[in-house]
């Protein structure tokens, strides 16, 4: 149980982040969830989270493109939850184009959210974790943190970067009670991936089901999507005391995608 711990999960109004923050609430954490939606748009989600635990549920709509808003997110969590013991850097975006057509503004936007924001959040949160001699920082990287992919130079650069960053933080934090790890999922069926499935279906004039099969068969040997709740259970385990010696690791849950 993570009773008494306070957890912040970025990008948790949908997809993987929502699965993770829900399981933290069920495991007894006080949680802050986060996304770009206004407070008024997330009332139902807030009620659902509150139904999982008796503890207070906080929400932030910080735009992680902005370093000041990253810092404010942590300060806001400190105010609303009292402290931050667990930070899951999950918010992430995708943009696909061959490198010669990859617009510089899209590149900067993607790197700002996927790589720079985790840096700003980590540097703001880690001093209090050192003070309490306990902390868990988890980065949702990707199979694309380990291998490249056509038309995904920005995304792959951001996720490979996250892995190097997490390893360095882990070494700095070694022996302090604070761990830093990357989780590297393969295909998980979330809104981010659904957009890619819709595009494959349109471009190849095939059904959505056929597009799903095409997407999986190109990369994921298991031929099955990873379930959000399984990924979330893994993140909860990494946040537990049993995982105190797992640090600096880049742990795959990818149906065999990056096996070599």
Q: Which residues of this chain interact with ligand NAD, rule CB under 6 A?
A: 11-17, 35-36, 63-65, 90-93, 113, 140, 142, 185, 187-188, 190-193
Query: Minimal CA–CA distance to 27: which of 71, 112, 85, 76?
Result: 85
Our answer to whether residue 119 is catalytic in this structure is no
Nearest distance, CB of residue 94 and ligand NAD, angstroms: 7
50 vs 192, beta carbon nearer ligand NAD: 192
102 vs 134, beta carbon nearer ligand NAD: 102
13 vs 179, beta carbon nearer ligand NAD: 13
Nearest distance, CB of residue 87 and ligand NAD, angstroms: 14
161 vs 185, beta carbon nearer ligand NAD: 185
**Any bridge partners for residue 33, and if so which?**
9, 59
Nearest distance, CB of residue 130 and ligand NAD, angstroms: 26
Nearest distance, CB of residue 84 and ligand NAD, angstroms: 17
Which residue numbers are catalytic? Answer: 155
């Amino acid at each position: 149980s993570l009773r008494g711990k306070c957890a912040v999960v970025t990008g948790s109004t949908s997809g993987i982040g929502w699965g993770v923050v829900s399981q933290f609430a069920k495991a007894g954490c006080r949680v802050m969830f986060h996304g770009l939606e206004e407070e008024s748009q997330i009332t139902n989600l807030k009620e659902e989270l509150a139904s999982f635990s008796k503890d207070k549920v906080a929400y932030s709509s910080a735009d992680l493109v902005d370093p000041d808003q990253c810092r404010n997110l942590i300060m806001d969590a400190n105010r609303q939850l009292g402290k931050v013991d667990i930070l899951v850097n999950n918010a992430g975006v995708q943009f696909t184009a061959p490198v010669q057509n990859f617009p510089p503004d899209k590149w900067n936007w993607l790197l700002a959210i996927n790589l720079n924001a985790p840096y700003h959040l980590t540097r703001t949160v880690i001093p209090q974790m050192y003070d309490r001699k306990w902390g868990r920082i988890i980065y949702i990287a990707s199979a694309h943190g380990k291998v490249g992919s056509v038309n995904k130079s920005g995304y792959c650069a951001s996720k490979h970067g996250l892995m190097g960053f997490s390893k360095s933080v882990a070494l700095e934090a070694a022996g302090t009670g604070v761990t830093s790890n990357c989780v590297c999922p393969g295909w998980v069926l979330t809104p981010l991936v659904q957009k890619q499935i819709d595009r494959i279906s349109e471009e190849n004039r095939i059904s959505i089901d056929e597009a799903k099969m095409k997407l999986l068969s190109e990369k994921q040997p298991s031929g099955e999507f990873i379930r959000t709740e399984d990924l979330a259970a893994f993140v909860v385990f990494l946040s537990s005391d049993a995982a105190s010696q797992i640090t600096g690791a880049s742990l795959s849950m990818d149906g065999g995608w990056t096996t070599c």
